[in-house]
Structure 1
Amino acid sequence: MMRRRLLAPTVAALLVATGAGCADQASGFGSDGRLDVVTAFYPLQFLSERVGADAVAVTQLTKPGAEPHDVELNTRQVAEISEAGLVVYLKGFQPAVDEAVAQEAKDKSLDVSTAVQLLPAEEHEEEHAAGEPEHTEGATDPHVWLDPVRFAAIAGKLAERLGQADPPRAAGYTERAATLQRELTALDAEYTKTLKSCARREVVTSHTAFHYLADRYGLTEVGITGISPESEPSPQRLAEVAELAKSTGTTTIFFETLVSPKVAETLAREVGARTAVLDPLEGLTEPDTDYFSVMRSNLTALTTALGCTS
């Protein structure tokens, strides 16, 4: 799918500058014997650390709290990709990472989108980010980690791929993935039970990052903008969402941690609703939080907003 800026300078130029990696790292293992795993952004870091545990050394390409869509790679990061034993990424989400993987880590990478069926991206025809081409038909929504069931499937695929890169420790990867999958199944059960009986089922968000979550639990996501967090809604779109919010008795307009809340606040004032955070988990912003704690905070926010009684 489309994303924003491409690398400047190009990955190829960076590889020349770094000598295309160091010979002593060609094996993909560090001096401590651990497999070097490079991950594109937080959910994949979390998954790799849980499945890999002490057998891997995990590096993330997106700084904590940074917007992952627009990541650009520096010389050191390109070298890390070149030297990694495994690169874990989501093709189509971060163009700079896609380019680096294609040039330097094609045979030692895992595109997690191959583990599950992705949903189509939702865009609104009348809006797109300034300077960005309009949405391409057939593009997919990348936010797959917000569905615990699909995320569990990715965990299993990651364990398989880690075992291929590091056969002596394959059993450990499989065992830890199974433990994580049980935890994700329990999280799915919590969401299913809590969201079963709610006064409302429409979730109004600043942009459509929660399609997978809504699809899994029978909710309807209403995005002020489409899949791109940098898009600006047209007056027509704002009017449409405001009318829907009023007709459904929406009490909460959600915005994200890494995106300006201004549009959500404007709509909330118009319809007499409040605003609250629904975290897409693209990058942690608070210390002492992880995938599970944020997902449960999201569930609490949804329970309040939707008037759930389970």
Structure 2
Amino acid sequence: MFKPRFVRPFPSSVPALLIAAILTLGLAPTSTLAAPPTVATSIKPVQALVKMVMGSLGDPELVIPATASPHMFALKPSQATTLEQADVVFWIGPDMETTLIGPLDKMAANARVVELMKTPGLRLIHFDEEAQNDDGHAHGNVDPHIWLAPSNGRKMISYIAEVLSEIDPPNADTYAKNAKKARQRITILSRKTMDYVVQMRYTPYLVQHDGYGYLALEFGMNEVGHIQTTPGREPGAKHVADIIELIKSKNVKCLMHEPQFAPKLAERLKQETGIALREIDPMGIHLSLSDTTYVRIIQGIIVSMEPCLQPRAPKQPAQPAPTQ
């Protein structure tokens, strides 16, 4: 049985019942009234959100494996078949899963394609146009990593439930009940995380690419920059020099890198500056699919960041032994 990773690292001062509430808050029992639609999802976080709404009605299929970058992915025949057989496809949008733009038009022509970037009420981060031109963002003028803000996760849950209810009216009540429980679970996640990071907010850190703004905004974290302007592409010499200067001038102690990308540049920066490296996974590579997967993705990121960002009391110098 899988044991969630977020429970053990929490301080003992956090009530045990509150910790357990996140992971034991189950979805409402369902009674299948009709066969649910065949659902395909682009990336693991989207699959996790859709699973929370579908519950025991079924498992949404995943197109892009969590080990791959959605920016640099070649569709295999089996994944193309998943799109062709789907009744509905959920994805973030063309600024995120760039490799799916063509395949969705050709292979999911008979499916309802739902762009979650269009979810009503999302809290969106808009890139500054001048900075966007300078940094060469691979995305458009809006940051598409919307799932990294749990407040956005709650909004997407509601939107997913609405879409599935329109496509599958006989199971609409089940989708609504599951969505309500999912929003409650994410609310508990947000509250616990806010308490957990209270001592971590002031430590400056770097990330591998500009994809964690929502996490920093949601929880008041002190992200000061990123080392890749285009995900998966090594930056030029000037940008590397600027990053080294940033590390030194702001006394940055930690760089968060991702398993989806080679850590070559991160290792170089470690050698040149002594910065500590921590791997964080926004996709949930090692997580099995369940109604807690989305919660565990956010938990896993925060817990992985904690050893670098949690301030430590300075070591006291050893006292000399008393003379006789």
What letter is aligned with 2:55?
A: A
SS in 1 for 2:255: strand
Kept after mapping to 1: 8 A contact 2:138/2:231: no
Partner of 1:110: 114
Distance in 2 between the 1:297 and 1:278 partners? 7
What letter is aligned with 1:120?
A: H
Deviates more, 1:50-59 or 1:156-165: 50-59
TM-score, normalised relative to structure 1 = 0.77
Question: Residues 75 and 199 from structure 1, CA distance in 2 versus in 1: closer, same or farther, beyond 3 angstroms?
Answer: closer
Distance in 2 between the 1:125 and 1:233 partners? 15
Partner of 1:214: 216
1:276 is matched with which residue: 275, 278, 282? 278
Partner of 2:226: 223
CA deviation map 1:103-156 (0-9, x unaligned): 4447612111111243235877566xxxxxx54795322211111111111011
Q: What are the within-5 Å matches in structure 2 for residues 1-310 of structure 1?
A: 33-92=35-94, 93-103=96-106, 104-105=108-109, 108-115=112-119, 116-121=122-127, 135=137, 138-198=140-200, 200-221=202-223, 222-226=225-229, 228-281=230-283, 284-285=285-286, 290-308=293-311
- Deviation, 1:236, is 2.2
Kept after mapping to 2: 8 A contact 1:209/1:280: no
Kept after mapping to 2: 8 A contact 1:200/1:250: no
- Answer with 1 or 2: which has the greater Rg: 2
When the two structures are aligned, how many residues end up with a matched partner?
270
Question: Residues 220 and 101 from structure 1, CA distance in 2 versus in 1: closer, same or farther, beyond 3 angstroms?
Answer: same
Question: Residues 235 and 124 from structure 1, CA distance in 2 versus in 1: closer, same or farther, beyond 3 angstroms?
Answer: farther
- Deviation, 1:61, is 0.7
RMSD across aligned C-alpha pairs, in angstroms? 2.7
SS in 1 for 2:262: coil
Kept after mapping to 2: 8 A contact 1:206/1:263: no
SS in 1 for 2:75: coil
- Deviation, 1:63, is 2.6
SS in 2 for 1:66: coil
Question: Residues 33 and 213 from structure 1, CA distance in 2 versus in 1: closer, same or farther, beyond 3 angstroms?
Answer: same
SS in 2 for 1:292: helix
Between the aligned residues of both structures, percent identity stands at 23
Distance in 2 between the 1:199 and 1:142 partners? 23
Distance in 2 between the 1:102 and 1:257 partners? 30
Distance in 1 between the 2:173 and 2:88 partners? 17
CA deviation map 1:59-79 (0-9, x unaligned): 111134222222333445444
Runs of 4+ deviating beyond 6 Å? none
Partner of 1:27: none
- Deviation, 1:51, is 0.8
TM-score, normalised relative to structure 2 = 0.74
